[in-house]
Structure 1
Amino acid sequence: MDHQTEWRLDAARMLTEKLRKKTGIRAVMVGGSAARGYSDVYSDLELIAYWDRPPGTEEKRAIAGELGAVHRYPMIDHGHESALEIGNFPVDLWHKSVSVEEEVMERVLKSFSTDLGDNNVVDTVRTGIPLYGEDLVQVWQARTEQYPDELARRFLGEYLPHFHLRQLHFAAHRNNPAAFFNILSNIHSSLFIVLLALNGSYFPTYKWMFKRLHELPVKPENLEWRLREMYRESPTVAAGSLREVLEETLQLVEAQYPDQDTEFARYGVDQPLPERFSESPFEPNKQR
């Protein structure tokens, strides 16, 4: 275990000793970068307290006070309630009820929801490190081990149509970097979702895209380097590089899911380069 992860987990254990004494808390789990082994010098600590009921606002404020915490952000910030600072170190403390967490897991694992927020909850549970109430969390984690095939198919059906290069080619040839990089990034994001589905991996949020891609076994060769290079290459070269990556990804999809409809995705990947029209092809109206 690396140093940045190790000392954050030590801090989590210390805080858990205080949290576990609160009536109503059934489990405490480390989430985020520390649980996934992604911590660096910029990482905070994410703790999730699972309650047998939704805790009240005053209850949560009292807990923050007992932990010696102050709020990092003003009340106008949507992250005010969970974003704490303890000993000048940022700690995100999330309060969730067991019933709500189980409802989210049910939506993903049984109803095959492709909502990315719900899928991130499942990924957090799957990768989390329980420090209290281990039996409860381990039951949840056992449920996440088998990635539903139907969930993968739904993600493929929803995100493969985003493999469309027409507007990217236009932005590249018109020297419109704002449009070009916006479209490029959006297609990268959809590519990430497709590869997660192929590998039976839940959504960890886009901020960990490259770390998770590094872990996936089924992907185009040298993928992370190739994606990063697209932001350094000229737009026309980058568009060609992206086309190659998408083509290789479609081959992986078709090998693993031969019955998956990829016709529109292939149509989008095979878009021709923009045609130039410098002169009118129409004859002027002749007066009679």
Structure 2
Amino acid sequence: MSTNDPVARRLQIARRAARAYQANDAVAAVLVAGSVARGLADDASDIELDVYWSRPPSEQERQAAVEGAGWQRVYAEEDDHEWADGLMVDGVKIDVSGFVTTTIDDYVDRATRGDTEAELQVRITALLDGATVHGEPVIDAWRSRCQPYPEALARAMVEHGLDLRPQEQLEMLAARDDVVLLHRDLVDGVQGVLDALFGANRVYAPHPFHKWLEWEVRLLAEQPDDLAARIRSLLVAEPSLAAATLGALVHDTFDLAARLVPAANLEALRTAYGLRRVSAS
């Protein structure tokens, strides 16, 4: 495949970078993740490389891997769960995310018990969609633990996603032409709908803010009619139409979720969404 193809070019670069990490015996697995692994990358896309360590890496080991690839870091960060290194390679940025394997074990356990924290599903979808470069048995074992999609998470995602601000608030903001606050609530509402639909479809959500909308929508076998078009339209519609469009989409999602996840407690959430505190004069 021609290296003019942005996906193929980035895969080649990622594999070159991965070899430097594989040289360390403490590296249990390496995975190309994100838009490159999913075939979505364009000329503006970064490369996401996930490195799974059997123990915490030292600063010297992280630096040695970068130097072993023949490049220099443009940033280096760490927190309690992740070591992040940024590399600039042939004009493309590589974001290297390092984790110890026990962290991923914990993330998988929490998600399968119904924890809706977005980062857990981001990491799981990286495993499920990623291109394994090293440590296939380790990656395959995690993948097996993520399937089938847990019913506890389906219920939790539906209930979490549909815990929305009341429709009355959207209408109030639209009537006042308070467009900044309205669009904040519109975006929150869209994200809640998408979270609920991923849960109802028993598909792990790949991004906390639902990047690559058209691709995400194609992952959902069950969805309200014209989902992507309705989302796009409400984000550019005049205020009252935008509020009404989101309201109709939310109600359709409640109906779909009630059918697909009957164990979810949705009636109280539906009532709260439609609550009217102010009577029309």
Task: Give the structure-2-normalised TM-score.
Answer: 0.89
Distance 1:6 1:145, change over 3 A: farther
| Residues 208-229 of structure 1, C-alpha deviations (whole Å, 9 max, x = no match) | 2512123211111111111011
Q: What residue in structure 1 maps to residue 147 of structure 2?
A: 145
Task: Give, as a single letter, the amino acid of the residue that structure 1 aligns with 2:127.
Answer: V
Q: How does 1:180-199 map to 2 (within 5 A)?
A: 180-199=182-201
Structure 1 residue corresponding to 2:111, chosen from 94, 108, 118: 108
Task: Give, as a single letter, the amino acid of the residue that structure 1 aligns with 2:105.
Answer: E
TM-aligned CA deviation for residue 147 of structure 1: 0.4
Q: What residue in structure 2 maps to residue 232 of structure 1?
A: 236
Q: CA RMSD in A?
A: 2.5
TM-aligned CA deviation for residue 268 of structure 1: 4.1
Question: Aligned equivalents of 2:83 and 2:151: distance in 1?
Answer: 38
Q: What residue in structure 1 maps to residue 41 of structure 2?
A: 39
TM-aligned CA deviation for residue 30 of structure 1: 0.6
Question: For structure 2, which runs of at least 5 residues remain unmatched after alignment?
Answer: none
Q: How does 1:101-180 map to 2 (within 5 A)?
A: 101-109=104-112, 111-162=113-164, 164-180=166-182
Distance 1:37 1:132, change over 3 A: same
Contact 2:160/2:196, CA 8 A, preserved across alignment: no
Question: Aligned equivalents of 1:43 and 1:11: distance in 2?
Answer: 13
Structure 2 residue corresponding to 1:84, chosen from 83, 87, 90: 87
Contact 1:164/1:267, CA 8 A, preserved across alignment: no
Task: Give, as a single letter, the amino acid of the residue that structure 1 aligns with 2:53.
Answer: W
Larger Rg: 1
Task: Give, as a single letter, the amino acid of the residue that structure 2 aligns with 1:194.
Answer: A
Q: How many residues align?
A: 274
Task: Give, as a single letter, the amino acid of the residue that structure 2 aligns with 1:257.
Answer: V
SS at match of 1:8: helix
TM-aligned CA deviation for residue 16 of structure 1: 2.3
SS at match of 1:139: helix
Q: What residue in structure 2 maps to residue 222 of structure 1?
A: 226
Structure 2 residue corresponding to 1:72, chosen from 55, 60, 74: 74
| Residues 78-124 of structure 1, C-alpha deviations (whole Å, 9 max, x = no match) | x9942221222100112211122112111112x32111112211121
Task: Give, as a single letter, the amino acid of the residue that structure 2 aligns with 1:254.
Answer: A
Question: Aligned equivalents of 2:108 and 2:143: distance in 1?
Answer: 10
Q: What residue in structure 2 maps to residue 286 of structure 1?
A: none
Structure 2 residue corresponding to 1:262, chosen from 251, 254, 266: 266
Q: What residue in structure 1 maps to residue 97 of structure 2?
A: 94
Q: What residue in structure 2 maps to residue 26 of structure 1?
A: 28
Distance 1:116 1:243, change over 3 A: same
Question: For structure 1, which runs of at least 5 residues remain unmatched after alignment?
Answer: 278-288
TM-aligned CA deviation for residue 207 of structure 1: 4.6
| Residues 177-223 of structure 1, C-alpha deviations (whole Å, 9 max, x = no match) | 11000010111111111011011111211252512123211111111
Contact 2:51/2:98, CA 8 A, preserved across alignment: yes
Q: What residue in structure 2 maps to residue 57 of structure 1?
A: 59
Task: Give, as a single letter, the amino acid of the residue that structure 2 aligns with 1:54.
Answer: P
Contact 1:243/1:269, CA 8 A, preserved across alignment: no
Identity across aligned pairs (percent)? 24
Q: What residue in structure 2 maps to residue 283 of structure 1?
A: none
Question: Aligned equivalents of 1:129 and 1:81: distance in 2?
Answer: 19
TM-aligned CA deviation for residue 272 of structure 1: 5.5
Question: Aligned equivalents of 1:145 and 1:175: distance in 2?
Answer: 46
Question: Aligned equivalents of 2:176 and 2:139: distance in 1?
Answer: 53
SS at match of 1:11: helix
Question: Structure 1 runs of 4+ off > 6 angstroms?
Answer: none
Distance 1:145 1:4, change over 3 A: farther
Question: Aligned equivalents of 1:66 and 1:60: distance in 2?
Answer: 10
